[in-house]
Each structure stands twice: as structure tokens, then as C-alpha cells.
Structure 1
């Protein structure tokens, strides 16, 4: 629960921090856009001013419209003003667009004493959203009117205009933030779903292993009762039964420990030990068991002793799992175990002549519950827990496990466990 709250807190803080950073970048972008806009307005204003200060067709038309003198054009005063307004509007639009300004605007051309004036087809009233840029006109027009002349341009909703210019920055940023939020939410959902699956699975394993304890106890009790009066010829078989019952009891206990290990960080007790004798006993027991089957098994233990830090029952279970797997997947199994010392590690390699594993499945066989299938069926019964368990054990011993396999050529699984001296110091 504490980890869950911590993850959620980190997620919220990260998103808030990212949003604040993005907001600051947005403010900087808007300020830059304002500076660019002011610069462009200054350049456009200079061109507009230069044009309106000289005598040309536009200024001649404007002069007559402002003075309401329509005799030269032979049209009404209202028509003259309307035409002049549109011509001036087109002229201003052209000059603004040339400088990269496409914002909506209105204008008013008037004398300071307001005796004469001309306005745009659309007029913006003064408000907080309207920004005004006045241009004082000199030259031809003021001389004809004999009055100071002002061209006043008004722009509305410039903040929206600045944001539109930043769409290349803001829209992708918002999309990326939304993508990050969606991805993290999906990951959190998947994580907690997996945690629920693990919890449910461990409960099932706990219940199953507890149920297995009763028949195992009964078999052990029955084997002890059979020991009285049994012939010498059958005594080794009974001993094998008793050994395997004890091993099964150990397996059950270790599976229970593994389930608790997945819920917490406990479950392993690593101690410095020479694992050579244990490994030799495992091999001899496996040799005895396989002597009753069509299995060829050989083992070679080189460079002894093997001082490692190990939880012995878990390590023994890991080796037994691999030997048992090697036996399952071949018609006439030929199994070889070789152990040696290599670069400060104990290397245990187990090879078989089984049907092998395809490249695609090799990456997945160590996952929990995964089993290599043959078409739509599994040739060997099982639950897909063995190799997952082995990998967890080896990783807990700070070792590595690797698999080499070719289809129809067999498989070799190699475990490497760090070596230590008798005092528990790494070699």
C-alpha cells in the first residue's frame, strides 16, 4: 500500500512538474511572439507611413474622400468614402501580410481636431482586448488638409493570435503530455493487475502445497511400516521411495517459501558452503533413479571444491529441476552434467539430446507459467513453474543462467554462481 501511494505521488508530482515547465515555456513563447509582433508592426508601419506621405493614386483618393470632394470622380460622397475605405483596407492588409502579420484589424484615419476622418469597413471599439497602434502621417495628406493626420490601427484578441502562432509547440506538447499520462496510467493498471494475479496465484499454491502435505505424510508413514520384513532385494527400492518422499516434503516447503519470497524479500538464507559434495550426492541419486529407466546419465565435477554462498535446499532443487527437465523431453535421454571453475564462478552445465527449443521460445521459457507447446498440445505434463523457479533461485544467489538450444539437437543450460572463500568473502 505504501509503495502504491508512493508511485501515485511520484506520478502526480511528475505530471504537475511537467505541466509547470510546459506553462513556463508557453509564457516565454508568447512573450517572444509579442516581441516579434511589435517588431513586424514597426516595419509595416514604416512602409505604410512612407507610402501615405507621398502623392499617389491611393493618397489622392483618400484626400478627396476625407474632404468629401467627389466632383473629380463623378460619384456620391458616400460611395467615394466607401471605395476609399476598402482600398485603404486592402493596402494595409497587403503591407501587414508582407511582414508576416495575419491578425484581424480595423483602422481609423482622422485629423487631431476630428474635422475629417475615414474608417474601415469593420470597426473595433475600445476594450481590454483591443490593442491600438497609432501612426502619425506627414507630407502630402496633412498638407492638403492643413491638419495633423493620424492612422490608428486596432488589433483584437492578440493573445489568441499569439497562441495560434505557437500551435507547432503547444499542440504537440499537450499531445505528448496526454500520451505520457495515458502510458503511465496503463502501466500502473497493468502493474496492479499483475500484483493481483501474483497474489491469487500464491494463495492457490499455498493451498495446494498444504493439501499435498497430507498424502506425502501418509506415503512416508507407509514406507516406514513396509521396512519391517522387506527382502534385501527390494530394500534399495524402498530406500529410494523414502528419499523421494523426503525430497518431495522439501520441495513443498520450498514452494511455500518461494511464494512468500515473491511477496517480500525473505525466503533465502545464504551461507558459505562447499557445494561440491551436495552436487555429487545429487548426481549419484539421479544416476540411481535413472538406472531403472532408459536414461544415459554422466557427470563430471572438475576443479573442486566449490565454495559459494548458497541456500542449499533451493540450490539442490534448482539442479534437480534442470536434470528432471532434461530427462522429460527426449525418447532415449542422454544427459550430461559438467561443473567447473571459470573466472571466479562455479559453472554448472547440463546438456541433453532432447527435441530442443526454438529461438522464439528461448526468450520466454524462464517466464512463469510459460510452456513450450507442440502445435496445440503439450507433450509433457506440467505447470510451467520449473524454469521460472530455477531462474529466481540463481538470481537470488547473484548468479546468471543461460540457455543454448537447437531444434532436434538438444539443449544446454548453464548456471554461473559467484565463488566465495571459507570466510564468506568473494573471490
Structure 2
């Protein structure tokens, strides 16, 4: 799928989800407002009924005007301006709420009309096992003849939301759809990125294999000419070219095969006692030709004394080879590489210091990812698959070690590897 189509799909899908979400929010709000309006109407009728009951107990006619006043979304006052018996008030409130199917806990207070002070208040839990068992001594004796009362619902909003079952369910479904869309979008973008990376990998691999094969083929054609026997120096030159290109091709094949074995679930380490300094010497020797061709130099400062570790000799050799090979390739001046070892608790540190082009902080976060290569624009003077450093990290981690990089543009790089003396990795 092209980049344009992916962007179009993302824009349309996002627009659709935003539209559906806004519509959902609108109707949820509408439904909540309707529930709240119904609750307020029921509350006005119930509290007016309580006021009429109080007037009836005081031998007064029902109120002509509505005595109920809503001061906030969940607080109501009732101006009866008469004597109020606390016990009767609580019973009237419970009965009226029950008749109106208002099953919410509430608080009520009785206020003196003369000074606006609360003279009594209580919290009523409708889920109490014995809601009707009241002690007469619990209610105070009020002597004044002019009171009003207020009712407060602390759980009104949560109660109304709890009644909106279908809307809550639909909102949850909408949330799941949004999460699923975000995940799908992430997968699509990741797959597209992997597709681009793999395409670049195939192109690089084709070029890396094609070049030495073509060189070998041309050299072989030259060697087929009988007259070349008369020119031993030329014969030796073309034989050397075939050998060098064969080694180059072999190294490229080995790098691809290395990554085929580096799967976290499939790494098979052959743990044995090895001398790290011996491995370093052997690796430097295998790179002797590359170092001479670049007129470079590899020096050693091997300070570690406890150089024997439990590791896979082949993989550790490949780790060092990859890092040294990169130090040679990514250098625009005469390569000067230094290998340092030092003892630390439980293991040994190997540092490979170079004077190469360096790595930016942004790229340092990605260099250990598979297929990642530092972008050099349209210049492709250094070929590779973007597999080496990923292989290095996976093998170091398989040995229960750590790898870090310290670098800046134009200042070279330092790769620091910790390998433990003892490795308890089991053969798989």
C-alpha cells in the first residue's frame, strides 16, 4: 500500500472515529440531562408531598405555592415555616422517596428560620439492614414553631450514571473500538516500516552479493585465457582478486546466517572456558588484511588479569569481528582503533575505541535494531545489511552481559561490553 493511501485511510478512519465519539458524547450527555431532569421532577413532587404531610400533622392546609427550592444539582430546601418533628420528617422522606422510586442515600437537616442555623441533621443509608429501627432518644426535642429543612444527595451523579446501563456499555464499546483502531494503526505503520526496511535489505544484499560475484566471474574469464600463463604477475594478481572477493562473499553470507541463528528462543550457545585475550589476538589477525588495506592500526591495552570466561568462542569472536570491522569501515581518515580490557566485579569489560565518523545521539537509540543503518543521504560508500550491531547486542544479552555505546559526531565511538566470568546459560 502506498504512503498516500495509508495517509488517506488514517485520515478517514480518524475523522470517522472522532465523529462517532462526538456523537456518542452528545447523546450520553443528552441522556444524562434527561435522567437528571426526571430526578429533579420526582424530587420536587416528593418533597412537596413531605411538606404537605408536615402541614397536615400541624393541622394546616397544603401549601398553595411550591415550597421546594433547588439550590444546586443535588441540594434542595423546603420552606415549611412551621414546626418539624425530626422523627416524622425522616419517615415522611423515606416513604415519599420509596413511592417515587428514589433509592439513593441522602442527608437531611432541619434549620431554624429565625437564625438560619441547623438544629439537627442526619445521614440516611437506604441499604441499612434495619432502616426502620430508630431510637426515640436519638431525635432532639425542638421547641420553636418555625423551621425549614434541606435534603442533600451526595451520590446523585454516580447513581444517575449507574442507571444509564446501555449508554455506559456503548461508551465502553466505543473505547474498545478506539483502542483497537490505535493498535491496528500501529501495526499497519510498523508493517509498512518493516516492508521498507526489508526491501532496502534485499537491495543491499543483492548489491553486496552481485559485486563480488561479478568480480570473480570477470577474473575467472581472464584466467581462462591461455596467454595469462606467460604473465605470472598478472596471474597472481587475478588469483588474489578471486581470493579476496571470495572471502568478502563468505563474510557477507556468514553475517546473514548469523542473524538466522540469533532468535531469542533459538540461540544455542556452546559454553566453554575461553581466554578473552586469545580471542582478541585471533580476531585482530583475521582482520590484518583489511587493516593493511586501509593503512590503519589496531592497538591493545589489555589490563584485565582474569581473562578466562565462560562463553561461546565462535559468537564472542563474531562480536569482536563485527565491532572492529565497523570501526574500519566507518572512518574517513586513517583508522586508529584501540582495544581495552579491565577487570570488574563478576566479569570483564572490553572497550573498542575508534576515531571514526561517530554516531549522533538520535541514532544511538536505534543502532542496535535489526536492519537499521545510519542514513547517509544518497551516498552509499559503506555497504552493509544493518544486521551486525543487532547480532552483537543479542549475543551479548544471551551471555547475560551488557553493551553500551558512547559517541558523538566527528569524535569517534566507544563500544563497551561487559561479559561475566561465569555464564549459567543452558544449552538449548
TM-score bracket for the superposition, by shorter chain length: 0.5 to 0.7
Partner in structure 1 of residue 324 of structure 2: 323
* Structure 2 CA distance for partners of 1:180 and 1:303, relative to 1, 3 Å: same
* Structure 2 CA distance for partners of 1:242 and 1:340, relative to 1, 3 Å: farther
* Structure 2 CA distance for partners of 1:245 and 1:420, relative to 1, 3 Å: farther
* Structure 2 CA distance for partners of 1:268 and 1:190, relative to 1, 3 Å: farther
Partner in structure 1 of residue 256 of structure 2: 255
Partner in structure 2 of residue 350 of structure 1: 352
Please tell me whether the aligned partners of residues 329 and 380 of structure 1 are also in contact (alpha carbons under 8 angstroms).
no
Structure 1 residue 57: Cα displacement = 8.3
Q: Which runs of 5 or more residues in structure 2 are unaligned? A: 1-35, 77-97, 102-155
Identify which of 339, 342, 348 aligns with 2:341.
339
Structure 1 residue 397: Cα displacement = 2.3
* Structure 2 CA distance for partners of 1:160 and 1:390, relative to 1, 3 Å: closer
Structure 1 residue 413: Cα displacement = 0.8
Partner-residue secondary structure (3-state), 2:413: strand
| Per-residue Cα deviation, 1:85-114 (whole angstroms, up to 9, x for no partner) | xx5xx55xx357779389xxxxxxxxxxxx
**2:257 equivalent to 1:283:** no
**2:363 equivalent to 1:361:** yes
| Per-residue Cα deviation, 1:33-91 (whole angstroms, up to 9, x for no partner) | 9xx999999776533422455577864x6xxxxxxxxxxxxxxxxxxxxxxxxx5xx55
- Aligned residue runs from structure 1 range 165-314, under 5 A: 170=168, 177-186=176-185, 193=191, 197=195, 215=213, 245=246, 248-249=249-250, 252-253=253-254, 255-262=256-263, 265-272=265-272, 273-304=274-305, 306-314=307-315
| Per-residue Cα deviation, 1:201-245 (whole angstroms, up to 9, x for no partner) | 79959x9699779949969x97xx99x99999x999978985884
CA distance in 1, matches of 2:353, 2:296: 13
**2:77 equivalent to 1:100:** no
CA distance in 2, matches of 1:244, 1:371: 23
CA distance in 1, matches of 2:283, 2:414: 18
* Structure 2 CA distance for partners of 1:243 and 1:310, relative to 1, 3 Å: farther
Structure 1 residue 372: Cα displacement = 2.4
CA distance in 1, matches of 2:310, 2:279: 13
Partner in structure 2 of residue 407 of structure 1: 409
* Structure 2 CA distance for partners of 1:201 and 1:394, relative to 1, 3 Å: farther
Partner-residue secondary structure (3-state), 1:291: helix
Please tell me whether the aligned partners of residues 208 and 383 of structure 2 are also in contact (alpha carbons under 8 angstroms).
no
Equivalences, count: 304
Structure 1 residue 186: Cα displacement = 5.0
**2:392 equivalent to 1:390:** yes
**2:51 equivalent to 1:50:** no
- Alpha carbon RMSD of aligned pairs, Å? 5.5
The structure having more radius of gyration, on CA atoms, is 1
In the superposition, the TM-score normalised over structure 1's length comes to 0.52
| Per-residue Cα deviation, 1:115-156 (whole angstroms, up to 9, x for no partner) | xxxxxxxxxxxxxxxx8449xxxxxxxxxxxxxxxxxxxxxx
- Aligned residue runs from structure 1 range 74-85, under 5 A: none
Please tell me whether the aligned partners of residues 401 and 416 of structure 1 are also in contact (alpha carbons under 8 angstroms).
yes
Please tell me whether the aligned partners of residues 299 and 336 of structure 1 are also in contact (alpha carbons under 8 angstroms).
yes
| Per-residue Cα deviation, 1:365-413 (whole angstroms, up to 9, x for no partner) | 2222322235665553333222222222222222211000122221111
Choose 246-255 or 308-317, whichever is displaced more: 246-255
- Aligned residue runs from structure 1 range 107-122, under 5 A: none
| Per-residue Cα deviation, 1:351-374 (whole angstroms, up to 9, x for no partner) | 112232222221122222322235
Partner in structure 2 of residue 149 of structure 1: none
Relative contact order, higher structure (CA 8 A, sep 6+): 2
Please tell me whether the aligned partners of residues 335 and 355 of structure 2 are also in contact (alpha carbons under 8 angstroms).
yes
In the superposition, the TM-score normalised over structure 2's length comes to 0.52
